[in-house]
Structure 1
Amino acid sequence: MTYREKLNDYWQLTRMHRPIGIFLLLWPTLWALWIAAGGFPSPHVLLVFVLGTVLMRSAGCAINDFADRDFDPHVARTKDRPVASGRVTPEEAVRLFVVLSLIAFGLLTSLKDVPTILLGIPAAILAGSYPFMKRWISIPQAYLGLAFSAGIPMAFSAIQHQVPWAIVLPLVIANVCWVVAYDTLYAMVDREDDLKIGVKSSAILFGRHDRLIVALLHATSLLLLIQLGLNAELGTIYFAGIAVAAWLAAYQQWITRDRDPQACFRAFLNNNYFGAAIFIGLLLDLSF
């Protein structure tokens, strides 16, 4: 195997060719940064969190494929992944996870803020342990929600040098609800394969109530974000972003009405626009 081929396998292992996961992890972090700063945050802080998001998502994909090395070959969507197909060894995947995590942690230390750096430790633990949760808990998507929310308290700590939990906790809960909603749509794509191989997921747990619960989770997330906006006295543009996100959630319900796997996957991808709508509304509202 050539050097270029190996780099390409690592590129695919970290899903850099499919950046949807980066965006879904980045949007709530950006929400938190803008709310904490009351507008545009410090360029240094913004750079650290954006690059850290890319690195930790990539690290999470590497350890995920290590954890799923015995399952992925039996799932149509994942059988050609580098570890599942044998192009990358499990040991290489673990080493890549460690290296990327250490780079991200080193980047975090450039902030020279000890509380924020310490918050990075449980964030890394959540990212590294999530892939194994689908063996033990019936709704691993909730654990993923916690992992994808780790940047929220870190953002407030980095900017305000404290974690105002009265603001942070509702924002975390809103994000966890959103993550469970969109990752349930993602799990609906693989539900039949997951049932065969014994992998747990919210799509299996929710059963025929899956779409209803996804709708309720989206609604809960939006209501919490509306309350946050009211408490922070945000303006019309922010709430317009919330309205667009609500329309997108309704659109996802419509296209998944027959639970067609391809439609469920499109609905999952559509959540990138959901997160972006909220951020754009927040960005514009705090800019004027």
Structure 2
Amino acid sequence: MRRSKGEQFASFINYALLGALGLLALLPFVHVLAQSLSSHDAITTGRVTLLPVDFTLESYRRVLSEQAFLNAFQISVLRTVAGTLVNVALTCLLAYPLSKTYIKGRSTIMFLIVFTMMFGGGMIPTFLVVKATGLLNTFWAFIIPGAISAFNVIIMKNFFQSVPVELEESAKIDGGSNLGILFRIVIPLSMPAIATITLFHAVGHWNSFFDTVLYITDRKMYPLQVYLRELIMFNQSNIDNNSGYSANMDSALLALESIKAAALIASTVPILIVYPFLQKYFVKGIMLGSVKG
């Protein structure tokens, strides 16, 4: 069907506007990338804009040789992997029984879950609970306080309700248990929604910052985002004097801005690599999970 001139013009405006917005979002990243690949003199003289000047990888060599950076990177990777696995597992285990209308008390439990989306416990009470349970300065402080997301539980519950009941009934006739049906039938059919919440949780864990400020005082437990904050907020003398930060970072050959840029790019690359593989499930998973059921 041939589109009218008005529709073609509207599509052109939409693409032009989205392209301009995408370019505006991309420019800061390109500038930081150019800084990370430029020399000390080029940065200090203000010659770096969107392309590297006096190309060099020295900033990356310096950053990747820092034990503090490597330790923070390891903490972030472990947190993202372990936290996402716990989040997805608990979300599925909670959402599956709530998707069954014959479960007694289902409405009450759903009300309590939705209630937490509107009224939180508050920062100080949450901190006191974490402290009372002995989670301060432990790896579990990254995972347990946010182990369940009410929003994602609702997405998975609605998606599970879209799975044909006949499949589960056939499996029960063949002797399948509830957990067997969940893991062998329901979850494989729900991969778009699971991929969606997996990406939500993974990005959230990777970029998380505030919970570390609240619960962690041991620098050895700092994830990458807090390391970057330390690198950006403190001047060169602060970094050299702080425990955990090597004096190797202080070099007459490199500008601190170049090191900051290299650290930012190095911390962004992992999530950029993973994102394209799961991005296609974002809209599909959310739409199916919210419309059906």
Higher relative contact order (CA 8 A, sep 6+): 2
TM-score w.r.t. structure 1 length?
0.27
For the pair shown, which has the larger CA radius of gyration, 1 or 2?
A: 2
Q: TM-score, normalised by structure 2?
A: 0.26
